[in-house]
Structure 1
Amino acid sequence: MRGVSALLAQLLVALGVGSGVAGAQTYPSRTITFVVPFPPGGSTSLVGRVIADRMSQLLGQSIIVDNRGGAGGTVGAKAVAKSEPDGYTLMVGYTGTLAIAPSLYRSAGYDPRKDFVPIGMIGSAPSSLVVHPSFPAKTVAEAIAYAKANPGKVNFGSAGIGTVGHITGEYFARAAGIRIVHIPYKGSGPAVSDLLGGHIPMSFSPIATTAGNVKAGLLRGLAVTSVRRNPLLPDVPTMIEAGVTGFDAVLAYGLVAPAGTPRFVIDKLNAALQTALASDEVKKQLELDGTEITPSTPEEYADFIDKDEKKWSELVKASGVEPE
């Protein structure tokens, strides 16, 4: 009986391995969806579409980008977390949904460590502090002085509650000792559109969505939120250079799948993602968006998400924003 049981166990293992190999060979066999948890026009959408186009070519299947905005990205994130873990519904991960929301919302509806499987990192980029040309401040120091002279009367826009722009703005206000009023939008695109129209004087928005308008003179760039200047706006100083000590708040992008997605699917997607990021075409497009490419293994991205969530939970606390 022991011999029969051992043989049966071996057969089951062999069948399992065989099904995995077969699955790896046939995946993907239909269209893949990349969920971007924000409306079109924002930086996450821009990055997601660049990656989707190249990975589609590499995988031999169509990849559509599905923009599902709402609640600072948590609507789309929850939808992906509850999706079938078959490799056909993925999310373009972003600092706001994977690192900020768990601290900002008492119940975000998902756990970034338990409900998602990391596929790999894409890159990182700073936010930018930009103002309408009619705003009197031409430097960060002047903006701080103006806000101190007009407490609670200066508004700033962001992609929504719980986004990097929101928390970065609150963090800036706390660091500078000023009171500014947050105006949430349903994405970076709408926020920048209202800023261009003069409906708000200031915004913390991803550099990808503001650089073109700054170069065209339609907006004034006061600072970027990284510790180094960004090639997209080389003449715009960092917050640290502008006098805000130790200021560092960059956003990161990556690709994640629902928990339970088979390992062979994750490996195949990671290989395609890394190949895409190594292509000259993708490098050029992401650099034009101000994104620094940082490819990784699934394990490295998991470690990054863990550390990033801890970092931003501290920034949420430092910003003074109360959990919702």
Structure 2
Amino acid sequence: MKIKWQPFLAAAGMAIAVSSGAAKANSFPSHTITMVVPWPPGGPSDMGARPLAAHMQKVLGRPVVIENQAGESGNVGSNMVANARPDGHTLLFTSSGPIVINPYLNATMPYDAQKDFTPISSLLQVPLVLVVNPSVPAHNLQELLTYIKGQNGNFHWASAGNGTTQHLAGELFRINGKLDMIHVPYRGTAPAIADLLRGRVTMMFDSTIAIVPHIRAGKVRPIAITSPERSKLLPNVPTFAEAGLPDVKISAWYGLFAPANTSTNVINKLNWTILDFMQTKEYKRIQDETGSGSVHDTPEDFAAFIKQEAIKWQNLTKTTGTKIN
């Protein structure tokens, strides 16, 4: 009897590959996992990354350390992960900016956002709130529009950095409100909020994750929220649609990525760990405290969502004419 060696060898090769992939997943992680956050410590990304890292460490049995690598609107830390070994031991926890916004704002990028990362899962999806320093004599959107126009181009507003969701939200607000304002980008949310509280800048958009505590403390005044419906966290704050600018609709999302070419088995193991975290009281507390909506919890769904987001932000940067270099 003749043996058909070619199909046999192909099948054997496939079996070996599957076995090898399973072995890699079973041996993963073999040492410390580094979760890179491309923003300064204390920002909204930390609020999702640190509890997740603690849970992953508990479940996977290896240390999971946070490494904040800020710079170039998240590009510095993201590029580190894009060039890391694709073995699952170096991960990126980021907001949407470095993945679906920066590529359309920069003439050149140090990495290919669509090709150099493998999506694992999103973790939070939250609306943004427009807030002002209490020194601003405006208590609603119409009063704020009138006040800004009366400043004759000498009104300063802050963002967490060029290319961030907060930045684009401000540009969308500027276009829809027909405003003349001066943008002051910071290297992250924390320093931007610090200067807002001091009155060095007078307005900014930020996620509910970062800004709600300051609203509750009376340190900033909320004007409107970018979600389609009012947030349970801020039931007295109107949506932009209610306030008169219905096209100002934006959300910020935060998710976990691995370098491209990380094995499917390792990605699935990491994804399972995140799904396990999503069943905890700690995660549900974070969702409640941040006003996070539903998230895309499989690698496939998250990847499809990212493609849609990329198209949206590309169109928005064109509409607003926003560029960094």
TM-score, normalisation: structure 2: 0.95
> What does the per-residue CA deviation read over 1:54-89, in whole Å, with 9 as the maximum and x for residues that have no partner?
222222222111111111111111111111100001
Listed as ranges, the matches of 1:177-216 within 5 Å are 177-216=178-217
Listed as ranges, the gaps of 5+ residues in structure 1 are none
1:83–1:89: 8 Å Cα contact kept in structure 2?
A: yes
Q: Distance in 2 between matches of 1:55 and 1:243?
A: 44
State whether residues 43 and 188 of structure 1, in contact with CA within 8 Å, keep that contact through their aligned partners in structure 2. yes
Name the counterpart of 1:266: 267
Aligned partner of 1:47 in structure 2 is 48
Instruction: Give yes or no for the alignment of 1:156 onto 2:146.
Output: no
CA RMSD of the aligned region, Å?
1.6
Deviations along 1:224-248, one digit per CA (max 9) or x if unpaired, are 1111222222221111111102321
Name the counterpart of 2:72.
71
TM-score by length of 1: 0.95
2:292 matches 1:301: no
What is the deviation of 1:158? 0.7
* Cα distance between partner residues in 1 of 2:170 and 2:12: 59
Query: Partner of 2:21 in structure 1?
Result: 20
Number of residues paired by the alignment?
Answer: 324
Per-residue CA deviation, residues 275-306 of structure 1 (Å, 9 max, x unaligned), is 11121221112321232241421111110000
Distance 1:170 1:36 in 2: 25
**Aligned with 1:48: secondary structure?**
helix
Deviation at 1:11, TM superposition (A): 4.0
Q: Is the 8 A contact 1:229 1:237 kept in 2?
A: yes
Moved over 6 A (4+): none
Distance 2:164 2:220 in 1: 21
Name the counterpart of 2:292. 291
Counterpart of 1:148, as a letter, is K
Distance 2:313 2:296 in 1: 21
Question: C-alpha distance in 1, partners of 2:148/2:6?
Answer: 76
Residue 244 of structure 1 aligns with which residue? Answer: 245
Structure 1 residue 33, shift from structure 2 partner: 1.2
Distance 1:323 1:134, change over 3 A: closer
The reply on whether 1:226 has 2:232 as its aligned counterpart is no
My pick for the range that moved more, 71-80 or 46-55, is 46-55
Shift of 1:186: 0.6
The answer (yes or no) to whether the contact 1:47–1:286 under 8 Å persists in 2 is no
1:158-213 Cα deviation digits (max 9, x unpaired): 11011111111011000000111110111000000011111111111222111111
Tell me if the contact between 1:277 and 1:295 (Cα under 8 Å) persists in the aligned partners: no
* SS of aligned partner of 1:208: helix
The percent identity for this pair of structures is 38
**TM superposition shift of 1:110:** 1.8
- Report SS of the residue matched to 1:253: strand
Q: 1:213 to 1:15 in 2, by over 3 A?
A: same
